[in-house]
Amino acid sequence: MKVSIVIPTYNEENTIIKKLENTLGLYYPKEDMEIVISDCSSDRTVKLVKEYFSQRRDVKLIIHHEDERKGVSYADNVGFSLASGDIIVRTDADVLLDENALIYALNSFSDKKIGCVTGRPFSLGCGLEKKYRDINTRIQEWESKIDSTLIAHGPFTAFRRELFRPIDEDSLADDSEISIKIRKQGYRCILNPDILFYEKTSEEGREEQKIRRASGLVRLLWRNKILFLNPKYGKYGMIVYPFNFFVMIILPIILSPLLLLLVALKVRGGTVLETEQFLLKGMYRLISNKATVYWEPDANIRG
């Protein structure tokens, strides 16, 4: 199978070379790979990519650059539309993939019912985030065994190109929107725990990242509420989607008096309560129209 690796970039001059080296170091035939850079940088990102590939002729490179910044979802849509591979892999510029990531992903697609595959995150730097991701991974493995997982991870999400449907340009959770739209077409979306990606995290800036992510997932769940207890989608509609809807929308509202007290006291309250605080703050951001498709690269993890 031919694989297109799409990397949306915005001012990634500090990370892009390491990302390209990691990508080209993946175990997969180079003649069956192409790299698509969907860029809106104002720094040297594109220049560095071109210089790097001036010495590499074994992999096809596609660069699309626009001066105007239009958000991650727009960059994703452009990159996916330019991709020609049977499988599209969407990955972030600040993330490193395990060298076997593509092999494991392609193995998953040997099942014709699987339309989307995401990987297992390994957090570098922040112990709190590592604990949260370990718990979330176990939940996603359970969801995948039942039917499909809801969340797809931007650092590594692979899907069949023919199943792609454009992401809403105001999407705040572009990666997970891919998985939901593919599940709506009748294909499973799973987490393969053998696919590892390594992402640097930091305590500084973590709260903003979590609230932005929470806003995106809450809105995505609400916009697709037709899936809630919908037998048309099997166990996904009857178990997986309602579980996520309850945890991310209903539970924060029920717990809001406690969560607001914890926020006022600046008490995290453990992994679960901290996550519910982020979700409640994400809801507030949506209600107050403060959610945005634009975000700034975290200087604490891009160095």
pLDDT of residue 169: 87
What contacts 97, CB < 8 A, 6 or more positions away? Answer: 22, 23, 26, 91, 119, 155, 156, 196, 197, 198
Predicted confidence (pLDDT) per residue in 168-204, tens digit: 989 999 999 999 999 999 999 999 999 999 998 877 7
Predicted confidence (pLDDT) per residue in 90-126, tens digit: 999 999 999 999 999 999 999 999 999 999 999 887 8
Predicted confidence (pLDDT) per residue in 272-287, tens digit: 999 999 999 999 999 9
pLDDT tier for residue 271 given thresholds of 50, 70 and 90: very high
Q: Name the architecture of domain 3-203.
A: Alpha-Beta Complex (3.90)
Residue type, 293: V
Q: Name the pTM for this structure.
A: 0.94
The Cα 170–Cα 26 span in angstroms is 32
11: tokens are 């001012």
The Cα 98–Cα 19 span in angstroms is 12
Beta-bridge partners for 60: 34
Query: Taking 90 as the threshold, does the pLDDT of residue 295 lie above it?
Result: no
pLDDT of residue 297: 59
pLDDT of residue 294: 65
Predicted confidence (pLDDT) per residue in 26-75, tens digit: 999 999 999 999 999 999 999 999 999 998 889 999 999 999 999 999 99
pLDDT of residue 1: 92
Query: Taking 70 as the threshold, does the pLDDT of residue 300 lie above it?
Result: no
Query: Taking 90 as the threshold, does the pLDDT of residue 296 lie above it?
Result: no
The domain limits of the chain are 3-203, 210-287
Predicted confidence (pLDDT) per residue in 116-168, tens digit: 999 999 988 788 888 999 999 999 999 999 999 999 999 999 999 999 999 99
Query: Taking 60 as the threshold, does the pLDDT of residue 234 lie above it?
Result: yes
